[in-house]
Structure 1
Amino acid sequence: MSESSPKNRLIDAGSPSPGVGPDLEIDHGRVAAMKKTLMDAGVQYCYASFVDVHGVPKAKCTPIEKFEKMCAGSELFTVGALEGMGLTGPQEDECAAVPDLDTCTIFPWDKTQAWFTGELYYHGKPYPNDSRSILKRMVAKAEARGYRVNLGIEPEFYLLRRDEDGNLTPLGSDFKGVCPAYDLNQTTEVLDTLNQLAQYMDELGWNLYSFDQEGGRGQYEFDFGYTDVLSSSDQLIFLRLMLKRLAHDNDAVATFMPKPFADDFRSGAHFNISLEEIETGKNIFAPGPDGPGELGERYGLSFADKALHFTAGLLKHAPALTALTCPTYNSYQGLIAQGDMADMSWAPVLMSYGQNNRSAMLRLPANRYCVENRVPDMSCNPYLAAAFHIAAGLEGIDQAMDPGAPHNENAYTLGNTLREKRQHLLPRTLLHALEAFDDDPLVEEIFGDFKEIYLKQKLGEWESAFYTINEEHREQKLTHI
């Protein structure tokens, strides 16, 4: 996570929006000014985009001439037809998607289209099962304590191509060694494609500071500046959309599947989270002039005590949190020490924290004052995952929780000593994570009725994947039993 980047904003629309009231009233002056700016820029179509339970963007394509109506909530959606959104059944009313005008972004690849992060309204009020609205509720709780929540996400993804037989292969040439991480040849081979993404990010003001060939064949990571938690979550949604378009334009395939190949690396999306005092702009995870504090001194860490309290809160709720950060059956095929890989996976496996221990769930990095959760993967819905990070971390601060001493050993080599050290592995499957999610009282407090919606959706996914019997299974077992 680098120094703070400009928000994902291309257009300054003037004073802050007064919000949409129960009758969907809007600031007509601001909307008219926005419309004129967009039309002058050549925009023909716009989107008020919300996400489903998976974090997949949904929207209607609205001609710019109908911009005012869209802002007033004219575009209605039968969200019960979408996965994990609630309001199921043909008898239910629709939700209106209302754009957040602060998020106006013209597509870098097509200047005739403009994107707005939208939020769902139901009967004139924010829809409680809308992912972004859930996160906004937690942001408001942090702000009530005087905190601004900052988040930086480290996205990893695969860019692949189909060969003549339809098999997925790396976009560039296949690397023949053990691990292609940081390989300069692999990066420069596909630089034309990667450069397009870098230029898009630059145009969006995301403060890109590096990208590289990651550990997987055809896997890349783009690192850019952090910002407030809402904007950062918006960015991940937009990045995935942008990557899909980039791949399409280059006859490639972009996948955010956490573990697309058993013998290669998972695609993480590490969350780097910190709290900033709204009044002073001070990062409260950084040490004060007198040093880190009692816990920091005790454990030999430079971080302030509130960072360690926040860390303890995340650890307390780690199993339930993992149900959100790793939301697919395939996610847990990546949270392993090695598996079918030629060497260690570098994936987190232990519910603990360390200073520079990448086998642990949480890391307190030496070069920045934030808590890095290494568990989230590229399939996560960032709004839901971020909301529970905030809730768990604030509980840790409110109760002055102690995370205990950092765990700096390689968890891959601990074996049966885990029990002796009272350390626990991350949930081994989606089912284990969902059981923890169901049992954690903080979940219902934060998500309300959405808890049952999420559980039903994800348990269905678990059962569908777990009980599948395919030809590969038959070939493996037919002659062995």
Structure 2
Amino acid sequence: MNLAVSAPNMIETTIADKKIDYLLASYVDMHGVSKGKIVPVGHRDQMLMGSELFTGAALEGVPQSVHDDEVAAHPDPSSATVLPWRRNVAWLASDLWLNDKPFSACSRGILKRQLADAKSLGYRFNLGIEAEFYVLRRGADGKPDLVTNRRLAKPCYDIGAALDNFDWLSELVDAMNELGWDVYSFDQEDGQGQFEIDFQYADALTSSDRYVFLRMMANQIARKHGCFASFMPKPYSNRSGSGAHFNMSLGDISSGKNMFADKADPRGCGLSTLGYHFIAGVVKHLPAICAVVSPTVNSYKRLVKQGSMSGFTWAPIFACYGNNNRTNAVRIPGAGGRIELRSADSACNPYLGAAMVLAAGLEGVRAAAEPGEPNRQNMYQATEAELAAKSIRQLPRTLGEALEAFAADPLSEIVFGSEMKKAWLDYKQDEWLSYMAHISDWETERYLEFF
């Protein structure tokens, strides 16, 4: 059950009603991985005031040195959630503070700054994140193996594979619904052992909190059943990668009205002029955005046009938008009223990704930018001449290219701030250089006795 409390005194009642013994003051590192301390409930008052301190230098991507003051976790009472698999523990998403004020490099705080910017324009940022991930079990040899004995050329939507996994899968979905997330569908996806769970959108902060919590919860529940969940974007070269598509709209801050919906759209996509301005801003900054929503070396093994059991990967490779056409990086689904960013993958830090996309979109709104006509063709099959005529760029093909775009784009520092931008680039550039220096099995097999 989601505690859905809005003030510390409301937590008191819920702690008693739900028999909570421990509280998790949780925040994320640069990767969006949950960190924190476990606090006995008797120390809740201090915890809510920011008593739990953390050495930033012990965390990846947090721009602090060993001599700096500790950062403090300030829990958000409205995010309090009872762990469905351990019901005497409640989790609270937290902001990091430093020296009694918000820490500029806190991922959640970075998103909140952009949400405040949207609010100043009269908008609420709505976000739904499609959760895709693989679930595997280790065989007798310790190597990861599929969670079903079915071996299908095209496993997408296979009921048999879903039922083979129904014990852990239904437990996870039941937990999500118990938390009030409103799961409306789930299935075996395009890769064997890959699953997608779709649940109701919310404001961007809530959805980001939920995605962080989901990655933790999926693993905890899968492990009860002898499996583990992998949010690696592309674990297999011949199977589809795992996206975390961002479905987005702006709502009127007062009425809640969807400001992206327009049934009279002359372009026939059901999107408002405001929505097209937002798209123009996102497409303009997509190369830099990729460094955040596709944040790993492995992410760019997904952003190719072929290489899955279905032939095409369904992942975007060009900075372009279109109608209900999955070959565009930005898609307007058939019902209209929202846009979908398809380059975001399962490894992203949702706070940072959402902050970058929102800032880019609002830039387009302020400038009343135009994205051109929607692309309705199969963009995988577009010729070089067709792409050049429309000034369509290819998305970064490697993490290295994405980081170059991120470093060069002024939007990156506007959103991240100078300290976090430098920390992100330092860490990710080291990750890229480490990968480039690694000698893979492919290289050894190909070249060791080549000459």
TM-score band, normalised by shorter chain: over 0.9
Match of 1:130 in 2: 106
- Which residue of the partner structure matches residue 168 of structure 1? 144
Determine if the alignment matches structure 1 residue 272 to structure 2 residue 247: yes
1: CA distance, partners of 2:334 / 2:56: 44
- 2:395 match: 426
Shift of 1:202: 1.1
Q: Offset of 1:342 from its aligned partner?
A: 6.0
* 1:470/1:81 CA distance change after superposition, 3 Å: same
Task: Name the residue aligned to 1:332.
Answer: 300
Map residues 58-207 of structure 1 onto 2, 5 A cutoff.
Answer: 58-88=35-65, 90-175=66-151, 177-207=152-182
Amino acid at match of 1:81: A
Q: Is the 8 A contact 1:315 1:351 kept in 2?
A: yes
Residue aligning to 1:10: 2
**Please, what TM-score do these two structures have when normalized by structure 1?**
0.91
Q: Secondary structure at the match of 1:339?
A: strand
Distance in 2, Cα, partners of 1:472 & 1:362: 33
CA distance in 1 between counterparts of 2:382 and 2:118 reads 37
Which residue, out of 193, 201, 205, partners 1:230?
A: 205
Instruction: Please tell me the residue identity of whatever aligns with 1:34.
Output: I
Per-residue displacement from partner, 1:254-279 (whole Å, max 9, x unpaired)?
Answer: 10000001111100000001000012
Q: Deviations over 1:121-163 (max 9, x none)?
A: 1000010100000000000010111101100010100011111
Q: 1:72 to 1:174 in 2, by over 3 A?
A: same
Distance 2:282 2:440 in 1: 38
The residue number in structure 2 matching 1:458 is 428
- SS of the residue corresponding to residue 309 of structure 1 reads helix
1:250-399 paired onto structure 2 within 5 Å: 250-287=225-262, 291-292=264-265, 297=266, 299-339=267-307, 343-399=311-367
State whether structure 2 residue 188 is matched by structure 1 residue 220: no
Question: What is the one-letter code of the residue matched to 1:164?
Answer: A
> 2:125·2:251 contact (CA, 8 Å) conserved in 1?
yes
Alpha-carbon distance, 1:37 to partner:
2.4
Give, in whole Å, the separation in 1 of the partners of 2:177 and 2:270: 33
User: Would the alpha carbon gap of residues 223 and 342 (structure 1) be closer, same or farther in structure 2, given more than 3 Å must change?
Assistant: closer
Q: What secondary structure, in the 3-state scheme, does the structure 2 residue paired with 1:351 have? A: coil
Q: Measure, in 1, the Cα distance between the counterparts of 2:2 and 2:253.
A: 24
| Structure 2 residue corresponding to 1:444, chosen from 413, 433, 445 | 413
> 1 CA distance for matches of 2:185 and 2:51?
41
Return 246-255 or 441-450, whichever deviates more: 441-450
Deviation at 1:48, TM superposition (A): 1.1
SS of 2:130's equivalent in the other structure is strand
Tell me the equivalent position of 1:37: 14
Q: SS where residue 67 of structure 1 aligns?
A: helix
Distance 1:101 1:48 in 2: 10
RMSD: 1.5
Q: Is the 8 A contact 1:169 1:218 kept in 2?
A: no
- The structural deviation recorded for 1:340 is 6.6
Percent sequence identity is 43
Task: Specify the code of the residue in structure 2 equivalent to 1:436.
Answer: A
Confirm or deny: 8 A CA contact 1:35 1:67 kept in the other structure: no
Q: Distance in 2 between matches of 1:181 and 1:330?
A: 22
Counterpart in 2 of 1:435?
Answer: 404
2-structure distance, mates of 1:273, 1:142 = 13
| Matches of 1:416 and 1:143, distance apart in 2 | 41
| C-alpha contact 1:39 1:64 (8 A) present in aligned 2 | no
Cα deviation for residue 287 of structure 1 reads 1.4
* Residue range with higher mean Cα deviation, 39-48 or 196-205: 39-48
What is the Cα deviation at residue 36 of structure 1? 4.2
Q: Which of structure 1's runs of 4+ aligned residues deviate more than 6 A?
A: none
Residue 476 (1) aligns with residue 446 (2): yes
Q: Gaps (5+ residues) in structure 2?
A: none
CA distance in 2, matches of 1:468, 1:101: 45
What do the CA deviations read for 1:417-468 (whole angstroms, capped 9, x no partner)?
3335432211100111111111111111222121111111110111111210
For residues 438 and 376 of structure 1, the distance between their equivalents in structure 2, rounded to whole angstroms, comes to 19
Q: Equivalent of 2:33, from 50, 56, 65? A: 56
The residue type paired with residue 323 of structure 2 is Q
Alpha-carbon offset, residue 411 of structure 1:
1.9
Conserved 8 A contact 1:35-1:64? no
Give the count of matched residue pairs: 449
CA-to-aligned-CA distance 1:282-313 (integer Å, 9 cap, x gap): 1111117xx33xxxx2x343311000000000
Q: Deviations over 1:401-427 (max 9, x none)?
A: 000111111122224333354322111
CA–CA distance in structure 2, aligned partners of residues 368 and 52 of structure 1: 35
Distance in 2 separating the partners of 1:283 and 1:339: 37
Contact 2:156 2:189 in 1 (8 A): yes
Q: Please tell me the residue identity of whatever aligns with 1:397.
A: V
Give the aligned residue type for 1:155. Answer: A
C-alpha spacing 1:368/1:192, structure 2 compared with 1 (3 Å): farther
Residues 32-64 of structure 1: per-residue CA shift (max 9 Å, x gap): x41342134221111110000000010111100
Among 151, 168, 186, the residue aligned to 1:211: 186
Change in CA separation of 1:53 and 1:217 when aligned onto 2, cut-off 3 Å: same
One-letter amino acid of the counterpart of residue 217, structure 2: M
Q: Is the 8 A contact 1:54 1:380 kept in 2?
A: yes
**1:434 aligns to what SS in structure 2?**
helix
